[in-house]
Amino acid sequence: MDKNLGKENNEKIYRFSQEGKELGISNNVLAFSLLSAIEEASNYFTELLLSKCGNPTLMRNISARIYNERVIKYELFLAIYYVMQNYDVETIIERARLLSSKWMNIRRGYIDVSDEDLDEIETYYTNYDTMEKVISELNKDESCDILNTLVQI
């Protein structure tokens, strides 16, 4: 996958959700599109790491596994976010699990999305730029280390 496509996709989907809000589209649909934007953002971060690492075996295995697993995309996005907040490791694992499973239920349409839920998803998404920046600063070894661990989730 072209990494710029992931970036372009998530930004477009986010804009769509913002316009949808003004049109009075229901929370469930808005949450669905915001979560899609987060998935695309997570794909984009993975693509960034893959291009830095440059290991073709990792690339084939990551694209075969991770891109099909929505829950891993959420967990990766949330883990990066919480690491940036400098939480301790247990808190990060617990929060990332809880929230990613809630998002899975929202994405499957099992939960009626409240205004608070919607704000929460949006708050996470709006940190996208800062997350992109810290990932861009990683070196080759760091990127490979993260991917080697990610492929085992």
Q: Does 58 bind another protein (CB under 8 A)?
A: yes
Q: Does 129 bind another protein (CB under 8 A)?
A: no
Q: How far is the CB of 89 from another protein (least distance, A)?
A: 5
Q: Does 149 bind another protein (CB under 8 A)?
A: yes
- Residue 41 corresponds to which tokens in the numbers above? 């953002």
Q: How far is the CB of 111 from another protein (least distance, A)?
A: 19
Which is closer to another protein, CB of 3 or CB of 65? 65
CB atoms within 10 A of CB 52: 19
Q: Does 75 bind another protein (CB under 8 A)?
A: yes
Which of 1, 5, 29, 89 binds another protein (CB under 8 A)? It is 89
Is the C-alpha dihedral spanning 38, 97, 124, 151 positive or negative?
negative
Q: Does 90 bind another protein (CB under 8 A)?
A: yes
Rounded distance, CA 45 to CA 132, Å?
A: 7
Rounded distance, CA 146 to CA 78, Å?
A: 14
Count, residues near another protein per rule CB under 8 A: 34
DSSP labels for 110-150? -SPPPHHHHHHHHHHHTTHHHHHHHHHT--HHHHHHHHHHH
Which of 86, 110, 115, 129 binds another protein (CB under 8 A)? It is 86
Cβ 104 vs Cβ 70: under 8 Å: yes
Q: Which residues bind another protein (CB under 8 A)?
A: 57-58, 60-61, 64-65, 75-76, 79-80, 82-84, 86, 88-90, 92-93, 96, 134-135, 137-138, 142, 145-153
